[in-house]
A and B are shown apart, each in its own frame.
Chain A
Amino acid sequence: MVALNHTMKNRAQLTGWLFIALAVILICIFYFYPMIQALLLSFKTGAGANLHFNGVDNYKRLFSDKTFFTAVKNTFIFLIIQVPIMILLAMIISVLLNDSNLKFKGFFRTAIFLPCITSLVAYSVVFKYLFGNDGLVNLALLKLHILAQPIQWISDPFWAKVTIIIAITWRWTGYNMIFYLSSLQNIDSSIYEAARLDGASSIRQFFSITVPLLKPIILFTSITSTIGTLQLFDEIVNITKGGPGNATLSISQYIYNLSFKYSPDFGYAATVSYSIVVMIIVLSVLQIKLAGENK
């Protein structure tokens, strides 16, 4: 009896394993194998196909590479300024859209979500023209007499960063808003009703009810946005090409440059890639710890 039970259990287990086997094998081949190979590659050096091991030299080079540090600095400036602005904007917009008295709700929702289904390259190119020296934005500001001189949106180191931040905020706010909106709809309206009866203002309601109840979503969106910003590529390449100088160079673009723009150094490019992996892990752990999500 015991033995029979045992074989049945084994068989059930085997069936279970068979079901997931295909997925596991595919993940191993297409995720884990390349990851390990890339780790090995990050210890090699040489141009193109002439690769040879050189120990930790690539990692030593990483820590004395000014361009890499500029790229990290730029990426973190984008991260620290853009992510909070976007998260806050997304939250405010979603609360406004969740108002039951609002008319044309569907229209507004679609309008704000639309940017995020546009192609990254297409919207970047449009932004490049909007913010060009003779672009629509400068033209409008000049004609309205807000500015006396056109702003060098793309060719000035400071304004180029601002342009990138405006562009990614436009593209991703709607995407994050959808998460907030869907979780807002799960909050029981009786909670707000009770708060109103107790005399809480809408601002008080927002900070004492909405924000705490949205905490898991805030955590989720800030982690995905952090990862997204660390991997920023399309916008930079298409709007500023990393310039002027390397004022808007991002880490991903640097990896691309090392592999394809310069004489190909795939070993060092893999080293830089692994630095992103480390940063993402550290930042995600930090965010989870800060949000106290360790039950």
Chain B
Amino acid sequence: MKKKLSAVLLSSLLLLSACSSNSGNATNTAKPTDQAATGTKEITVWAWDKNFNIAAMKLAQEAYAKDHPDVKINIVEYAQDDIIQKLNTGLNSGTTSGLPNVVLIEDYRAQSFLKAYPDSFQDLSSSIKASDFADYKIGATSLNGKQYGLPFDSGVTGLYVRTDYLQQAGYKVDDMKNIDWDKFIEIGKAVKAKTGKDMLTQDPNDLGLIRMMIQSAGSWYLKSDGSTPDLKDNAALKDAFQTYKTLMSANIVKITSDWNSFLAGFNSGAVATVPTGNWITPSVKAQADQSGKWAVVPFPKLKNTASSVNASNLGGSSWYVLNSPGKEVAADFLGKTLGSNVDLYQKMLTNIGVIGTYKPAASGEAYTKADDFFGGQKISSDFATWTTQIPKVNYGMHTYEIEDILKVGAQNYLKGTDLDKVLSDAQSQAESQIK
């Protein structure tokens, strides 16, 4: 019955606890560095998304293989959820066998791993230069002044717009540039009236839009220490919630319930805009017959929050090296490829569409190429410019805990509960949950 799976879940939790109790510092001392001794150099990399992260890693592997034929790199694809589970159980058990040397971790989760498993990750300060990477990525990838992660893709956001729908509603692309959300909603109503199309899709179970809004104002769910909840008197968050409610009740939102219906929303032409991270570009371009009908403009800002800018971030991840045998080779591999190779970044952008956060690469040729799908717009160069404007925030350890609390709050707020009460309830709940 259902019993089975939960039993497995429960017992794996139990087993894991059994192991963790007597592990202590065994991680660091128990394993002899037999790889260095025998001379076999083999490292394993874990990542998700075959068409994006894995494809980028394969390019890095090729680039490294030219000068280092003796190193064998195994790239393994897992779903992100699986990687999180395997890392948690593996690191808890105190043994690193079965774990990879290099692993991709989402920026929202990075601090939680770095703090929960101290000494399990390798300091990369000697292999890469943190100042070479976009400023906003450093907060998530470093801890106590040590640079643990190699900042990878930019989650810089943009507003993807259907120029043909806008035209029908009497607007030009320029009317959408550097606007605030109030203006966005106003245009959305006009688009709905003239074309019958919704302005955007939203999944009520995903507060990505709120996260983008508050980061555009340099604010987050947590204070800058990364552990104190900042919900109750957070003006940017309040503004974001109010904007969210106005948007949701303006009858311009198509409700979706998962990723696939989100993709179907714009691929089928049902919505006029997509406000999200640049990693959506390949999915937008997947609908080849819409070529020339799209443009990307800067992300709207919050109207009543002075600190809000027309740039934000959604998602994005970075590479980490585990503190286990083979770490020197792994760190060298990352440092010589994604940490310094400008040509590699040009290739990643041209072949895959990865916009990196390695600053020296942004002036390269691939970044200045015009894209016919977007009516000849140089979208990569635009995204690279916006990347430098993203306000830096500390995501801290608890993004998903607080998001789950706020989801309930958002539901109540949409149904009519007073916003101040919603946020102060969320604050006290977050305070009791986060320790």
Contact = CB atoms under 8 A, between A and B. Distances in A.
A155 B204 CA distance: 7
Given A50-B116, A231-B3, A246-B407, A67 B18 contact: no
Given A120-B2, A152-B255, A243-B204, A260 B14 contact: no
Contact of B257 (A64, A133, A273): A133
Contacts of B287: none
Interface residues of B, number: 56
A154 interface: yes
A120 to B, nearest CB: 7
Nearest to B406: A245
Q: Summarize B's interface: helix, strand, loop or mixed.
A: helix
A37 B23 CA distance: 14
B6 A243 contact: no
A127 B17 CA distance: 35
Contact of B23 (A49, A70, A172, A232): A49
A215 to B, nearest CB: 21
A193 interface: no
A240 B258 CA distance: 9
Interface string B338-356: 0000000000000000000
**Chain A contact surface mostly:** helix
Interface string B402-435: 0011011011100000000000000001001101
A228 B2 contact: yes
Nearest to B258: A128
A257 B398 CA distance: 12
A15 interface: no
Contacts of A61: 432
Contact of A47 (B6, B11, B116, B261): B116
Chain A interface extent, by class? 35 or more
Contacts of B398: 262-263
18 contacts: A41-B17, A48-B91, A48-B112, A49-B91, A49-B94, A134-B261, A155-B205, A172-B1, A227-B3, A231-B3, A240-B257, A243-B204, A244-B407, A261-B400, A263-B398, A266-B17, A270-B17, A273-B13
Shortest 8 CB-CB contacts between residues of A and residues of B = A48-B116, A243-B205, A34-B14, A263-B112, A231-B6, A41-B17, A47-B116, A245-B411
Interface of A: 30, 33-35, 37-38, 40-41, 45, 47-51, 61, 64-67, 70, 120, 128, 132-134, 152, 154-155, 157, 172, 175, 224, 227-229, 231-234, 240-247, 252, 255-257, 259-264, 266, 269-270, 273
Interface of B: 1-3, 5-7, 9-11, 13-18, 20-21, 23, 81, 84-85, 88, 91-92, 94, 112-113, 115-118, 120, 203-205, 255-258, 261, 264, 397-398, 400-401, 404-405, 407-408, 410-412, 429, 432-433, 435
